[in-house]
Structure 1
């Protein structure tokens, strides 16, 4: 993990205000206090049943199972599924679990990335939970949700058919942390069905409170390898996805890759077979179905590298994990999601300190939702944030990095059920100014062009941009693409320079 004080301030800043909503003092989701509920159950010798997420059809959700299949579902506690259940068996690994009937490979790919960061994993999955004398059928997990950490309580009744869990399950039948973690996240989303379809970025941010960036692999930056390598070194979590096929089906292609599917980036290696080759290790959350091209498990190219590299990298087994060249990675995947706890990896300035500022805002139709800049009569009504950029902080002043400011804009949902949330197209613009007071009027924007702007307005949960700005006075204007679209947002500003925002 990065050393505290250098990079972890993004987590501290995003942890909440006045200590409330921090990882050490999370908000009780739906006002359910884990300790109080546990003491209640233990004192009365009862098993907890969660009335806010009950073991019934509504919790499974709409459209996931056929009515005939729903009739076969029985909700069983782990103690009724196996005779000796455990929360965790022999540590935690990406190979512990496999996907069930929910199309949530994006969520499982994120769990796979999470298993590489033990400190973060323990924040999300409190490890002290057990099926012991204090067992009460009650478990809890923590997620970062739109500006604060929440503690999510669940009962341990799992949907089964013929005694087997129908959603995520562990390959070790007595281990239940993956199934219970999935149930807790399903509760946050509204139902199991609400987890259907997504991108790794969403869960990666919810697991960490970090800032997400997305790289388009059809037009990757020239330093992609260095970027990925530094991201791995700085404890960032990485996931990626393949392009969708003609249908919504997850079709397995002749090359072994699955269309419209999420994967975890689990490793990077530089090997030498007469020339230096960059290879990427990926994991399919199905736990099987692997790439069969160059540098795959059975590729003859492994015979051209040193025995040391071969023994370190090669593992022939249908476990869902495989290697491929960076070139093929960019060819067959459409995007790379990086959730950074430490933005230093973006330009390699590992000794720099970053200042983090978080602001809550809201676009309201008719008053503060002016749309993007082509709406000349209303753009000025959007929320405005003045930022003064001064000299570089600390050791950054002795270095010349490429960028000194990261701006992230995240929109907040207006509904609990994830499938009902409508993301607006969002983005932001940054203007330089000399002498202005009060709210910037429409005339300012008719005279000035932005020095920085998001390339396109995306209907994504979060958009970000990493830029270099000279010392001076700037104005950040976040907006939706169209005017009169009401929703709340979180603006995160990270800077290597001394900054003042108002």
Structure 2
């Protein structure tokens, strides 16, 4: 890959793209093939990014910012090569504009482009046998970036390493020299120049004279300033401060690939005010946070591990936090489960201590807890640092081996890890289980696997009838379902496939939790004064004028909002906010109306 950084400080994005380009199947997932300026050219290009558990399509036109006839941002030295510039534009659209790309984290870009789990490690925390650890990560397909954050932005130290600049680590080898083997790493500067000038450098490294030509050919060493260089592991430790590792959760569809990625179990959840609580595990309200049941049944096949333990990672991601302008401080605690229960009571939490926990609460988009535990049953508790904070989250568990989907009550011989939602979610009393929901979809979709508005109406009616909100389905009308389909349909077909319906259902579950919390008298209706705090609990901030529109447009004659009406209102607001950010291409209000004006206009419809 040969790409030049433009006027944005987005070397973090270049580093992620450089790592991605090393694996063609990963790059092709983000940049679909069969797009060119030739046949049937329409001026539109399509890219795909992973967002909170699913792949989203982003379309952009071919207009790129220029100054005096030259591209302003990311570009290629090749005059007729534009894929990297268009990819940067699509990612800017996803994030809210080019300005949103000015300074960032490589690990976040890598997650968005692979669907993996990113782990940030300080150099001081890395194992003593670093070559073996790096080899293990690369064998599992991990994408690795590294940086030195101790000096001025993108200035060099005395040996050529740039401060606060993202590099990619692409290989680790035991290099044979005439004096014995040397552990070395291969590093790539995405700028394509400015290389390491210490021992083993391309031009100033006499050490290469001790390595045979055959060995250098095995390493694919190129003696030119192309941004790629080798350095000893000891020098790597001294010249870099941190490492960002993106663990893959999908196998590479690449011929000859021996990569064995982690197996991933994923679940969506929500912190709801007056249900979720913050603070330390010993706090009196900590038990009200969501709980997940986690089973490890088969230890790693590692003869060097005398403890016979199971390796895993737990990743907790707060969703849409930048869109809401709120950075929650989030954390993870893992407890040993009781033998007779899959849920920890307040009494349990008052006496138990976690077997693993994040060192502190963090406002990062995602926190990752790496661990090794003996086979057994555990409880994962994701929490926020302060009481009564709201927010949606995604929790993922990565295990060394496969994850069978058998119920935790009757584990089979192949059950390695399972994660089950616990009954601290109000929607469990109102909506069918995930398995029942899948059966409902198959029952009501057509023979091609699509669900149209009328079929969605029948599906939701049957789903609501079986729980504590039974009777609310009488307020569900076909117009609601038409809007649900239009707002969730990503292909313009006026019908939903299973992934699109599942995305809708995840929203319904989270919003049902909020509705049941704020339906204080269990009347299956929200009183008008409860609308504003309920919207806030969903992460949507509106002004008094929008609330007045809600009262006029979305309430019943008695100024209450029914359960279906509440779902319709949140779907409308959520979609309009997302569309505003998609249209605001440069992140500076360039669509001629403000965010507030946009909501005022769209809420009339």
Same fold (TM over 0.5): yes
- Structure 2 residue runs of 5 or longer lacking an equivalent are 252-257, 402-414, 421-605
Whether 1:260 aligns to 2:167 is no
Q: 1:190 aligns with which of 96, 103, 117?
A: 96
How far is the alpha carbon of 1:364 from its aligned partner?
A: 2.6
Q: Which residue of 1 aligns with 2:330?
A: 426
> The residue matched to 2:229 in structure 1 has which SS?
strand
- 1:125–1:142 Cα contact (<8 Å) kept: yes
Select 1:170's aligned residue among 54, 59, 76: 76
Residues 352, 255 of structure 1: alpha-carbon distance in 2 compared, 3 angstrom cutoff: closer
Residue aligning to 1:317: 224
- Give the greater-gyration-radius structure (CA): 2
User: Does residue 1:364 correspond to 2:289, yes or no?
Assistant: no
Superposed CA offset, 1:119-151 (max 9, x none): 111111112101013111100100101111001
Measured after TM superposition, the shift of residue 481 of structure 1 is 2.7
Q: Spell out, residue by residue over 1:13-44, the C-alpha distance to the aligned partner (whole angstroms, 9 max, x if none).
A: xxxxxxxxxxxxxxxxxxxxxxxxxxxxxxxx
- Confirm or deny that 1:300 pairs with 2:218: no
Task: Please point out which of 289, 294, 302 is paired with 1:387.
Answer: 294
Residue 374 of structure 2 corresponds to: 470
Q: Residues 352 and 119 from structure 1, CA distance in 2 versus in 1: closer, same or farther, beyond 3 angstroms? A: closer
**Which of residues 419, 427, 448 in structure 2 aligns to 1:501?**
419
Structure 1 counterpart of 2:106: 200
1:234 equivalent among 118, 124, 140? 140
Partner SS for 2:392: strand
2:236 match: secondary structure = helix
Q: Matched residues in 2 for 1:445 and 1:428: separation?
A: 14
Change (3 A) 1:439 1:207: same
3-state secondary structure, aligned to 2:334: strand
Residue number in structure 2 paired with 1:278? 183
- The reply on whether 1:102 has 2:20 as its aligned counterpart is no
Which residue in 1 is equivalent to 2:86?
A: 180
Pair 1:159–1:355, CA change in 2 (3 A): closer
Q: Residue in 1 aligned with 2:519?
A: none
Return the offset for 1:353.
Answer: 9.6
CA root-mean-square deviation: 2.7
**TM-score, length-scaled by structure 2:** 0.61
CA change 1:460–1:114 in 2 (3 A) is same
Q: Partners in 2 of 1:351 and 1:285 — Cα distance?
A: 24
* More strand, by proportion: 1
Q: Which residue of 1 aligns with 2:57?
A: 151
Paired position in structure 2 for 1:449: 353
| TM superposition score normalised by structure 1 | 0.73
Q: 1:438 to 1:271 in 2, by over 3 A?
A: closer
Q: How many residues align?
A: 395
Aligned equivalents of 2:233, 2:7: Cα separation in 1:
31
The range that moved more, 424-433 or 166-175, is 424-433
User: C-alpha separation between the residues in 2 aligned to 1:411 and 1:323?
Assistant: 37
Task: Flag the structure with more relative contact order, 1 or 2, with Cα contacts below 8 A and sequence separation at least 6.
Answer: 1
Q: Secondary structure at the match of 1:498?
A: coil
Q: Residues 305-358 of structure 1: CA distance to partner in whole angstroms, max 9, x if unpaired?
A: 2222334443232222221111111111111122122599xxxxx999965321
Equivalent residue, structure 1, for 2:383 = 479
Contact 1:370 1:380 in 2 (8 A): no
The alpha-carbon deviation at position 157 of structure 1 amounts to 0.4
More helix by share: 2
In the alignment, which of 237, 246, 257 is matched to residue 339 of structure 1? 246
Q: 1:357 to 1:396 in 2, by over 3 A?
A: farther
Larger deviation: 469-478 or 184-193?
469-478
**Would the alpha carbon gap of residues 469 and 266 (structure 1) be closer, same or farther in structure 2, given more than 3 Å must change?**
closer
Corresponding residue for 1:405? 312
